[in-house]
């Protein structure tokens, strides 16, 4: 009898299993694919970041190293090698999970898991063998899948989702992306840098899923447009067809029927929870109207002994959040105090410039009637950003007008994804803008822009 069977070995499931192992639980983690790591390691965060880094190096060598007085000639793309490097990074990391399972006493099992009853999980392996696992508790961490778009059928060659766009074997001449969200902007950036013409068709009048701070969204759109990405906003895609390797996408924009032709089409319009053939009906566990499994603050579902974390539950679909939920869920099973503060979860888009945020946007604060002060500081006045030749962007901090508590922070600029960590910790600790302003920040670093933005909340920036 297991103490816990985890279904799914993505960041939610595999981290939960490791924590359970650390706490002395007898734990198994079942994964239907041959490697552990889930979407994030196999076809998500890691391969996309590998390509973002490589393509940025290529663009820098071609267009920006000259500004440093470093003249390089004959810069060439070896796409096969770039893709191979990405695969090697993924391979190393997924192997690492098998090692971590062993180290922490987690039994990793490959096969499709079906819940038979509250205490039984059946696993059907690729080898045709069936295993029955008896367990005290079940944790569902089955993640998510791309949302399909009616009228646009993926053929996995010309019309693809994010997984296909991580492995094009040649640089598209013209890549059309449906959806100006995180996937569209990150993968659109990769292929633009490598030489493709990129057009993004978005349903909303804004990019970044309409969720970003308004100043950030405006600068992001301007910068990506300057880089060469073309946007068709406020546009409803009506269909796509492939003929002799050419894709035609049709869409309606301001009452007009339009179409574009391209050689590759990427659909990135969001993801939905994945619970197919999981056997939820066997335990009477229903999903909500959007397919998510609802849980309480300890990640308990409505069925006793059955828990859920990660993309399969409502909330942002982020790897670090899935991990955090997995840890808290297992710690609560062991009566250890733990919680996830959803206000303090950072969100990063790994484009160039990077975009990062934590907490509320100005628009959300206004809507909630919260009085706040905003401090904003540009990377242009920062010595390190100048040395990097990377000065586009700013840090914006929003603090409660009366208490000065930080309610939100928004960064667009170099290494925004790393810089947001300090502000996420400040939000978690209920810190104030004054706390950041009075903390020592090394010189010359990009982090000084965070400090200046905190000083700007009180109207006293020192260098701008
Ligand atoms: P998943 O990682 O989806 O793992 C679920 C696992 O469960 C899968 O391996 C699946 O095979 C398995 N499974 C499902 N059903 C069964 C079953 N019945 N039996 C056995 N196994 C089953 N997030 C970030 O925070 N940062 C990023 O930079 C980032 N980049 C991304 C880039 C892309 C292209 C994509 C697609 C996503 C990205 N994400 C990123 C999102 C991130 O990948 C997810 O939020 C994260 O993987 C969710 O973890 P999870 O454990 O809930 O689910
Ligand atoms: P998304 O929700 O970020 O963006 C989808 C975009 O598609 C939105 O702007 C939406 O308005 C638009 N859209 C929806 N339907 C449309 C239609 N019919 N026509 C045109 N546009 C349409 O979703 P995305 O980019 O697919 O990413 C899925 C999830 O994966 C995200 O929610 C994110 O959590 C995660 N992810 C995270 C990353 C990160 O943290 N850096 C990177 C990539 C993915």
Whether 232 is in a domain gets the answer: yes
Q: Are residues 286 and 395 in the same domain?
A: no
Ramachandran assignment for 173, one of left (phi > 0), alpha (psi -120 to 50 degrees), beta (any other): alpha
CA of 268 to the centre of ligand 2 (A): 6
Note the pLDDT of residue 3: 98
Q: Are residues 429 and 370 in the same domain?
A: yes
* 443 catalytically annotated: yes
CA neighbor of 461 nearest in space, from 405, 380, 401: 380
Q: Are residues 190 and 177 in the same domain?
A: yes
Ramachandran assignment for 110, one of left (phi > 0), alpha (psi -120 to 50 degrees), beta (any other): beta
Picking from 252, 269, 286, the residue at the C-terminal end of a domain is: 269
Domain ranges, residue 420: 344-457
CA of 42 to the centre of ligand 1 (A): 9
Whether 306 is in a domain gets the answer: yes
Q: Grade residue 458 by pLDDT with cuts at 50, 70 and 90.
A: very high
CA of 169 to the centre of ligand 2 (A): 24
CA neighbor of 216 nearest in space, from 358, 98, 356, 6: 356
Q: Are residues 227 and 363 in the same domain?
A: no
Q: Grade residue 398 by pLDDT with cuts at 50, 70 and 90.
A: very high
Q: What's 138's domain CATH number? A: 3.50.50.60
Is the pLDDT at 55 greater than 90, yes or no?
yes
Is the pLDDT at 210 greater than 90, yes or no?
no
Note the pLDDT of residue 15: 98
Q: What's phi and psi for 219, nearest 5 deg? A: -65, -40
Do 436 and 451 contact (CB within 8 A), yes or no? yes
Looking at 235-365, which runs of residues are DSSP E strands? 235-243, 246-253, 256-262, 264-267, 271-273, 306-308, 347-349, 354-359
Is the pLDDT at 127 greater than 90, yes or no?
no
Average model confidence (pLDDT) across the chain: 97
Whether 463 is in a domain gets the answer: no
Note the pLDDT of residue 296: 97
Q: Grade residue 137 by pLDDT with cuts at 50, 70 and 90.
A: very high
CA distance 93 to 349: 21
Which atom of ligand 2 lies nearest, measured to the CA of 317?
34
Q: Are residues 383 and 438 in the same domain?
A: yes
Which residue has its alpha carbon closest to ligand 1 atom 9? 38
Task: Tell me the helices (H) and strands (E) count for the chain, helix number first.
Answer: 13, 22
Is the pLDDT at 126 greater than 90, yes or no?
no
Mean pLDDT of 172-200: 98
Would you say the CB of residue 251 lies under 6 angstroms from ligand 2?
A: no
Cβ neighbors of 309 (< 8 A, separation 6 or more) are 12, 13, 16, 139, 140, 141, 295, 299, 322, 325, 326, 329
CA distance 299 to 141: 11
Whether 331 is in a domain gets the answer: yes
Mean pLDDT of 266-285: 98
Whether 151 is in a domain gets the answer: no
Would you say the CB of residue 232 lies under 6 angstroms from ligand 2?
A: no
Pocket probe mutation, ligand 2, options 270, 313, 321, max atoms within 8 Å of Cβ: 270
Grouping H, G, I as helix, E, B as strand and the rest as coil, residue 151 is coil
Q: Are residues 283 and 397 in the same domain?
A: no
Whether 184 is in a domain gets the answer: yes
Q: Are residues 49 and 133 in the same domain?
A: yes
Mean pLDDT of 108-118: 98
Whether 154 is in a domain gets the answer: no
Picking from 340, 358, 389, the residue at the C-terminal end of a domain is: 340
Do 400 and 429 contact (CB within 8 A), yes or no? no
Note the pLDDT of residue 292: 98
CA of 443 to the centre of ligand 2 (A): 37
Cis ω on the peptide bond leading into residue 444 (within 30° of 0)? yes
Q: Are residues 250 and 335 in the same domain?
A: no
What are the residue ranges of helices labelled H in 119-258?
162-165, 182-193, 214-227
Q: Are residues 75 and 204 in the same domain?
A: no
pLDDT (tens digit per residue) in 9-27 = 999 999 999 999 999 999 9
Q: Are residues 264 and 282 in the same domain?
A: no
Whether 362 is in a domain gets the answer: yes
CA distance 452 to 464: 8
CA neighbor of 87 nearest in space, from 127, 29, 146, 47: 47
pLDDT (tens digit per residue) in 231-275 = 999 999 999 999 999 999 999 999 999 999 999 999 999 999 999
Pocket probe mutation, ligand 1, options 319, 327, 328, max atoms within 8 Å of Cβ: 319
Is the pLDDT at 464 greater than 90, yes or no?
no
Which atom of ligand 1 lies nearest, measured to the CA of 37?
9
Q: Are residues 66 and 127 in the same domain?
A: yes
CA distance 238 to 35: 37
Would you say the CB of residue 46 lies under 6 angstroms from ligand 2?
A: no
pLDDT > 70 fraction of the chain, expressed in percent and rounded: 100
Mean pLDDT of 166-185: 98
Note the pLDDT of residue 237: 98
Q: Are residues 11 and 128 in the same domain?
A: yes
Q: How many domains does the chain have?
A: 3
Picking from 228, 249, 269, the residue at the C-terminal end of a domain is: 269
């Amino acid at each position: 009898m297991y103490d816990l069977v985890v279904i799914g070995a993505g960041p939610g499931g595999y981290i939960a299993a490791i924590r359970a192992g650390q706490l002395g639980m007898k734990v198994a983690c079942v994964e239907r694919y041959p490697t552990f790591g889930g979407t994030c390691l196999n076809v998500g965060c890691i391969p996309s970041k590998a390509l973002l880094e490589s393509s940025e190096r290529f663009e820098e060598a071609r267009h920006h190293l000259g500004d440093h007085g470093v003249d390089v000639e004959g810069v060439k793309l070896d796409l096969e090698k770039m893709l191979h490097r990405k695969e090697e990074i993924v391979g190393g990391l997924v192997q690492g999970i098998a090692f971590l399972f062993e180290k922490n006493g987690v039994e990793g099992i490959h096969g499709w898991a079906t819940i038979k009853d509250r205490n039984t999980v059946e696993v059907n392996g690729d080898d045709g063998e069936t295993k029955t696992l008896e367990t005290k508790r079940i944790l569902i961490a089955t993640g998510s899948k791309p949302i399909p778009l009616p009228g646009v059928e993926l053929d996995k060659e010309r019309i693809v989702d994010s997984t296909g766009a991580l492995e094009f074997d040649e640089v598209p001449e013209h890549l059309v992306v449906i959806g100006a969200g995180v996937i569209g902007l990150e993968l659109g950036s990769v292929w633009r840098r490598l030489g493709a013409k990129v057009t993004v068709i978005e349903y909303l009048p804004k990019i970044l899923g309409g969720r970003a701070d308004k100043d950030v969204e405006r600068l992001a759109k301007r910068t990506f447009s300057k880089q060469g990405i073309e946007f068709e906003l406020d546009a409803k895609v009506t269909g796509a067809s492939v003929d002799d390797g050419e894709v035609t996408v049709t869409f309606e924009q301001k009452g007009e029927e339009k179409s574009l032709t391209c050689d590759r089409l990427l659909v990135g319009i969001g993801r939905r929870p994945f619970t197919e053939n999981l056997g939820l009906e066997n335990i009477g566990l229903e999903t909500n109207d959007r397919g998510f499994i609802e849980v309480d603050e300890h990640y308990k579902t409505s069925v006793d002994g059955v828990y859920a974390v990660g993309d399969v539950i409502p909330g942002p679909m982020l790897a670090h959040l899935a991990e955090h939920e997995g840890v808290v869920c297992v710690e609560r099973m062991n009566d250890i105090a733990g919680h996830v503060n959803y206000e303090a979860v950072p969100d990063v888009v790994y484009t160039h410039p990077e975009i990062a945020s934590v907490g509320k946007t100005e628009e959300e604060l206004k809507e909630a009637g919260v009085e706040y002060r905003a401090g904003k500081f540009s990377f242009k006045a920062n010595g390190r950003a100048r040395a990097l030749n990377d000065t586009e962007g700013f840090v914006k901090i929003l603090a409660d007008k009366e208490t000065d508590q930080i309610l939100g922070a928004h960064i667009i600029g170099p290494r925004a994804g790393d810089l947001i960590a300090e502000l996420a910790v400040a939000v978690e600790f209920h810190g104030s803008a004054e706390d950041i302003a009075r903390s020592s920040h090394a010189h010359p670093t990009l982090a000084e822009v965070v400090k200046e933005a905190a000083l700007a909340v009180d109207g006293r920036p020192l260098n701008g």
